[in-house]
Amino acid sequence: MDILSQMTERAKANIRRIVLPEGDEPRTLEAANIILKDKIADLILIGDPAVINKMAADNGYEYIKNATIFDPATNPKMKDYANLLFELRKAKGMTEEQAAQKAMDPLYLGCLMIKAGDADGELAGARGTTADTIRPAFQILKTKPGVGIVSGAFLMFTPATELGEGGFLVFADCAVNPCPNAQELAQIAVSTAETARTLGQIEPRVAMLSFSTKGSAKHELIDKVTEATRIAHELAPDLQLDGELQADAALVAKVGASKAPGSPVAGKANVLVFPDLQAGNIGYKLVERFSGANAIGPILQGIAAPVNDLSRGCKVMDIVQMVIITANQAI
């Protein structure tokens, strides 16, 4: 059974409540019908029940009847959510009136549901930007203890079975931080290793990528990666992690043995941590397009509860897969 199938079965065996703030977005609603039909998760759709139910009826989405549809315009629990937001943000100057207004925003409301214990995770972004999705999560859920940065990972299912874990690798950060410093890069590495372990059910072998391998070149950009490697070892002493490594040294056994002999990671990495967002974003898209890899993400890492972002160009099955991943993060 492949990794995605394993995650699907795990979600079915441990049903979690996932809130979809864009409840009347057409692709989201179609994906919701699939999720409910296959009994992968319990879903909370935020929106006008009349609009959602009409869309479902018009398209033959018969399983939407099994979703919880939450209408912020009429639901009496809105007062509780507004009060919760006020308590969380009053020290930052938010008034009760502002909290009541902000809680009506589905993206804020979804995070408030998680904070209140009424949902286990959230998936959004088919309509909005990554910043729109992350901002409420920062303000309401905050980051995990000991983690000061949110990052974005991609699960890469490639046909190159000789690489990674039978062709499966995790790439980061490909979505959030343009230019992380050494401390941030180290935290990204540790978070990505945890994503590989919890979602992929693999033992992570983390390569800190650069254009140099073990001092083959000298530059301040390389210094950042070597320093991040040192810090990551302090943060997670038992983690198999090495750097700086060029991509071929990280992935290809023969090259790794030649360029970094004795490395616990070189030639067999299954987690690739890129030095900045430009490299990470370009890298995953090149692998996706040239190899026909299935790239699933971005999976947001470091938030205290599962909140994930979609591309505005996402397809229905992208949403289905990301619900599965969000549910697995919540288990």
CA dist 220 and 275 (Å) reads 12
Which pLDDT does position 204 carry in this prediction?
Answer: 98
E strand segments, 71-220: 121-124, 151-157, 168-172, 205-209
Residue 69: burial class (beta carbons within 10 Å; 0-12, 13-18, 19+): buried
Alpha carbon distance 263, 65 (integer Å): 54
Q: What is the DSSP letter of 127?
A: S
SS3 205: strand
Q: What is the pLDDT of residue 182?
A: 97
Q: What is the pLDDT of residues 4-32, one digit of tens each?
A: 899 999 999 999 999 999 999 999 999 99
Per-residue DSSP letter, 303: B
Q: What are phi and psi of 293, to 5 degrees?
A: -65, 150
pTM of the model: 0.89
Biggest CA–CA distance in the chain, Å, is 66
Q: Flag residues of the chain having pLDDT under 50.
A: none
The pLDDT of residue 146: 82
pLDDT of the residue at 1: 56
Spatial contact of 40 and 62, defined as CB atoms under 8 Å apart: no
